[in-house]
Amino acid sequence: MDLSQFMPKDLVYPKAAVSLTEEEKKDYADKIARVLKEQNAAVIAHYYCNDDVQALAESTGGFIGDSLEMAKWGKRSSYDKLIVCGVRFMGETAKILSPEKTILMSTLSAECSLDLGCPAKEFGEFCDQHPDRTVVVYANTSAAVKARADWVVTSSIAVELVEYLHSRGEKIIWAPDRHLGSYIERITGADMLRWQAHCIVHDEFKAQALEKLIRMYPDAAVLVHPESPASVVHMATVVGSTSQLLKAAGTLPHKQLIVATDSGIFYKLQQACPDKELIIAPTQGEGATCKSCAHCPWMAMNGLKEIYEALTDTANTAKHEVMVDEDIRVKALTSLNRLLEFSDKLNQKKQFQ
């Protein structure tokens, strides 16, 4: 079976959030802050969101993080309502973990190409053909795919989890990201049957052009998200999730950093290392289509106007509120809880080392 066949062909990218003047941004940020208080609500944003959305999360006491941290923060927070700024799987994850909370998104059409490239029915049939394998799926999947999995992982913990399963002699089905899957396989040596979807942002980073850039900046460290092609990962000084890259940026001695991940991360990178030169890795060069230009078109749908509307447009709740079928939610919760427990144990272990 060709496991890449489910990637949608000829994707039409959505319209980005409405662009606002500085004055309008301030006006929306003030209005949103008031509404959040009235509704006992908070903003949770992913590092790939636009700067103004991340600034809103900061100024209103919300949260910015990688996909694992977003899930954890949403679960332990005491707010009645969370407005998840990111893509739909992040909103679904919040709902699966916190069914008692109202989970809103500025739009429910914020897709992820990995999620689109792994339809639940076909994935379930594939798993049924390999009943001897443990099913591990990346968080960037629908609730229905998570419900079919034994484990959910994020990029911050995928290597450790597969290492653990491999040490127990388990053979694995991995989905959906082909690059992250091959990276984990290379590091762990685990027996993995890998689904072949890809992230349309990270897939565009180009090795040849990166090589040229490294020659121009020979003293720079290269930070790479593992959703990037293997040829790009090979040139990395550090490979890691968004949070891990941010941490590395702050601690590495290098004064120049070449960054191969979504450009939304520059908002926090600039805060983490204001004295360093930040250079985006090339998405242009041989074979480039440059559809995404290092910024996820679905993350870019999240904007201040859209967030305000989601919080106030009560006549159109269905356009914004994340709902997950209860049967699917309960099944997906089992595999997500395994992730959270594994992550907690790993953190405890690291503290004692």
**Residue 295 φ/ψ, nearest 5 degrees:** -140, 125
Nearer to ligand SF4, 199 or 272 (CB): 199
Pairing of β 134-138 and β 151-153: parallel
Q: What is the spatial distance between Cα 330 and Cα 288, in angstroms, rounded to a whole number?
A: 42
Nearer to ligand 13P, 172 or 299 (CB): 299
Residues 140-169: x/- map of binding to ligand SF4 (CB under 6 A)? x-----------------------------
Closest distance between ligand 13P and the C-beta of residue 246, in Å?
Answer: 10
Q: Is residue 201 part of the contact set for ligand SF4 (CB under 6 A)?
A: yes
The neighbouring-strand residues paired with 175 are: 137
Q: Is residue 302 part of the contact set for ligand 13P (CB under 6 A)?
A: no
Q: Which does 335 bind (CB under 5 to 8 A by kind): ligand 13P, ligand SF4, none?
A: none
Residue 55: both structure tokens together:
């600034």
CB 92 within 8 A of CB 336: no
Q: Which does 155 bind (CB under 5 to 8 A by kind): ligand 13P, ligand SF4, none?
A: ligand 13P
CA distances from 24 to 51, 206, 244, 307 (A): 15, 37, 34, 13
Nearer to ligand SF4, 140 or 142 (CB): 140
Q: Which does 241 bind (CB under 5 to 8 A by kind): ligand 13P, ligand SF4, none?
A: ligand 13P
Pairing of β 63-65 and β 41-46: parallel
The residues in 241-260 that bind ligand 13P, with binding defined as CB under 6 A, are 241-242
Nearer to ligand 13P, 41 or 223 (CB): 223
The residues in 155-214 that bind ligand 13P, with binding defined as CB under 6 A, are 155-156
Q: Which does 242 bind (CB under 5 to 8 A by kind): ligand SF4, ligand 13P, none?
A: ligand 13P
Closest distance between ligand 13P and the C-beta of residue 47, in Å?
Answer: 6
Question: Mind giving me the DSSP string for 20-78?
Answer: --HHHHHHHHHHHHHHHHHTTEEEEEETTS-HHHHHHHHHTT-EEE-HHHHHHHHHH--
Q: Is residue 336 part of the contact set for ligand SF4 (CB under 6 A)?
A: no
Please enumerate in sequence order all residues whose Cβ is within 8 A of that of 342, keeping only pairs 6 or more positions apart, or say none.
151, 157, 160, 161, 164
Q: Is residue 343 part of the contact set for ligand 13P (CB under 6 A)?
A: no
Q: Is residue 48 part of the contact set for ligand 13P (CB under 6 A)?
A: yes
Element (H, E) at 43: strand 41-46
Q: Is residue 113 part of the contact set for ligand SF4 (CB under 6 A)?
A: yes
**Residue 257 φ/ψ, nearest 5 degrees:** -130, 125
The residues in 45-104 that bind ligand SF4, with binding defined as CB under 6 A, are 48, 87
Closest CA relative to residue 21, chosen from 312, 304, 347, 288:
304
Element (H, E) at 151: strand 151-153
Binding-site size for ligand 13P (CB under 6 A) equals 11
The neighbouring-strand residues paired with 280 are: 259
- Per CB under 6 A, residues contacting ligand SF4 are 48, 87, 112-114, 140, 199-201, 227, 262, 296, 298-299
